[in-house]
């Protein structure tokens, strides 16, 4: 057998052994499951939710945030007006199955999930959600989506942003510390009297939650985890809202949209 023929055979064999995964069709609707991050709470301007500025389903054409919905709209005009923000401020993973049922009722072709910050950010380390409860509710969420969504639908799961990093970059800011204490924000991590051991315990629980997200998502062929892209991203102070020193600012939402999109089903689109 000539060398060129042998090379050709080898290439064909490799292609057959590991076929390229076809990119799924562009969705004609999108729904988001999550908490105040996906509601774009305190993103700018005034206190409260600003869902039109969400990293996932936001549709404010005048802001610099290129949400998943807006990116898809430029590729798939049929998605216009079919962006459903099913997230709720304050939600924990226990609320995700009900949000999933809502996404199913909307017949969403694409569902994003960013949930878990409130399961970590509680009044103290002792009141964080247990790993078993977190797993059980996330399993129920994905089962609801997988069994109820149209066959062409896809699911994207983001890792939880690193709350220890938030403390690291802002605990030296006296105004941030004042706001955290006055508003009782994420005291399991941000309370000024927390020991390093307590903060590490919170970090360990968050790491366990992210591992659960990865593990459960991997069981479903149409679920894609971000491979810790959000958790590992080193955000800066300008990406954090100056209203509460906790939620993403406009720059933070824009960055979150970019980082998650690059880890999504259509990253090169």
Select from 166, 63, 72, 61 the least CA-distant residue to 112.
72
Beta bridge partners of 155: 111, 223
Walking along the chain (269 residues) 10 residues at a time, the average pLDDT comes out as 42 38 88 98 97 98 97 98 98 98 98 98 98 98 98 97 98 98 98 98 98 98 98 98 98 98 90
pLDDT at 268: 74
pLDDT at 257: 98
pLDDT at 54: 98
Interatomic CA distance for residues 163 and 158, integer angstroms: 14
Compute the C-alpha angle 249/208/129, nearest 5°: 75
Interatomic CA distance for residues 143 and 74, integer angstroms: 31
Q: How many CA atoms lie within 13 A of 145 on its CB side?
A: 34
Angle between helices 131-148 and 196-217 (to 10 degrees): 30
pLDDT at 18: 36
pLDDT at 23: 83
pLDDT at 269: 66
The total of other beta-carbon atoms located within 10 Å of residue 94's CB is: 18
CB 22 within 8 Å of CB 37: no
Interatomic CA distance for residues 226 and 231, integer angstroms: 9
pTM, to two decimals: 0.91
Domain ranges of the chain: 25-262
Backbone angles phi, psi at 113, to 5 degrees: -130, 120
C-alpha dihedral, 168 to 249 to 258 to 106, nearest 10° = 120
- Residue carrying structure tokens 């992210």: 210
Please give the CATH number for the structural domain made up of 25-262.
3.40.50.1110
């Amino acid at each position: 057998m000539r060398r060129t023929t042998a090379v050709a055979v080898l290439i064909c064999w490799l292609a057959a052994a590991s076929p390229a995964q076809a990119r799924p069709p562009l969705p004609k609707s999108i729904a988001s499951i999550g908490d105040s991050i996906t509601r774009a709470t305190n993103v700018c301007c005034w206190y409260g939710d600003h869902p039109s500025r969400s990293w996932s389903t936001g549709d404010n054409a005048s802001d610099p945030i290129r949400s998943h919905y807006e990116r898809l709209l430029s590729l798939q005009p049929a998605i216009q007006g079919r962006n459903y923000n099913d997230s709720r401020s304050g939600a924990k993973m226990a609320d995700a199955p009900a949000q999933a049922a809502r996404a199913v009722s909307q017949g969403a072709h694409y569902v994003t999930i960013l949930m878990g910050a409130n399961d970590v950010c509680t009044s103290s380390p002792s009141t964080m959600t247990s790993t078993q409860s977190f797993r059980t509710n996330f399993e129920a969420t994905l089962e609801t989506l997988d069994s109820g969504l149209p066959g062409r639908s896809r699911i994207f799961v983001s890792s939880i942003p690193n709350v220890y990093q938030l403390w690291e970059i802002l605990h030296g800011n006296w105004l941030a510390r004042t706001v955290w204490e006055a508003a009782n924000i994420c005291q399991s991590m941000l309370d000024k009297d927390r020991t390093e051991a307590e903060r590490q315990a919170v970090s360990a629980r968050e790491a366990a939650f992210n591992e659960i997200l990865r593990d459960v998502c991997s069981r479903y062929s149409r679920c894609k985890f971000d491979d810790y892209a959000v958790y590992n991203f080193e955000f800066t102070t300008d990406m954090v809202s100056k209203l509460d020193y906790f939620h993403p600012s406009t720059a933070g939402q824009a960055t979150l949209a970019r980082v998650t999109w690059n880890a999504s089903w259509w990253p090169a689109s």
